[in-house]
Amino acid sequence: MKTPVLLLSAPVLLALWRYHGVVRDRHGPLEGCYFQFIFFFAIVGILPALYAWASGVRLSELGLGLGDARFGAKLLLLIPIVVLPVTYVASGMADVRAEYPMCQALYTRRDLVIWYELAYVGVFYTAWEFYFRGFLLFGLKSELGATNAILIQTMASCLLHIGKPEGEILGSIPIGLLFGWLALRTRSIWYGWAVHASIGVLTDLFILGLA
């Protein structure tokens, strides 16, 4: 894969997502959030995957394999030890409660929470981790080196948080660095995906009073 294409994919794809994929009416029906997730999956998941395939790169080379499962499994301990208490505290903050859940219809449609969260994890977070910690990170590593690849995907993922609560934006920087390192260390995006998705789901559940 060509480095200029990888680098340009970030501003092009993320700008398209921002202007055409983000649903402005967060109080609208749940279908709006599903559209948001599917659009995101298509633009930063399917398109990069097709480019990788056309370039002769196997998806396993972009972190879609299990990698070092023994080391990766240890990372999952971050969920009960770190993620659980942090999201519980964050869910009580006014700016976080104003932002999440992204679909406000869940306040009145509790019966749909499980389907929303499954889509959130399976579609949105999968595309997020594949693009930043897979496509960009592993794609840039060979030519730019591990450190530069981690820094670039961290900058791109941080910028996509603009408009979110300040703490979330600032927190996305060390998290981006950590998840980038973890992806390279384990040769897989899935362990960071599990931790990242747990942050989103637990935040929603705590805010909705379901956890």
Please tell me the distance from the alpha carbon of residue 9 to that of residue 12, in angstroms, as a whole number. Answer: 5
Q: Return the pLDDT at 77.
A: 87
Contact 187, 80 (CB under 8 A): no
Give residue 38's pLDDT band: very low, low, confident or very high (50, 70, 90): very high
Report the domain count for the chain: 1
Domain interval for residue 55 = 3-208
Q: Quick check: 211 pLDDT over 80?
A: no
Please tell me the distance from the alpha carbon of residue 165 to that of residue 93, in angstroms, as a whole number. Answer: 10
Q: Quick check: 19 pLDDT over 80?
A: yes
Residue 108, classed as helix, strand or coil, is coil
Average pLDDT, the chain: 94
* pLDDT, tens digit (0-9, with 9 covering 90-100), for 160-189: 998 899 999 999 999 999 999 999 999 999
Give residue 30's pLDDT band: very low, low, confident or very high (50, 70, 90): confident
* pLDDT, tens digit (0-9, with 9 covering 90-100), for 48-86: 999 999 999 999 999 999 999 999 998 888 889 999 999
> What φ, ψ does residue 55 adopt, rounded to 5°?
-90, 0
For tokens 């997020």, name the residue: 128
* pLDDT, tens digit (0-9, with 9 covering 90-100), for 124-151: 999 999 999 999 999 999 999 999 999 9
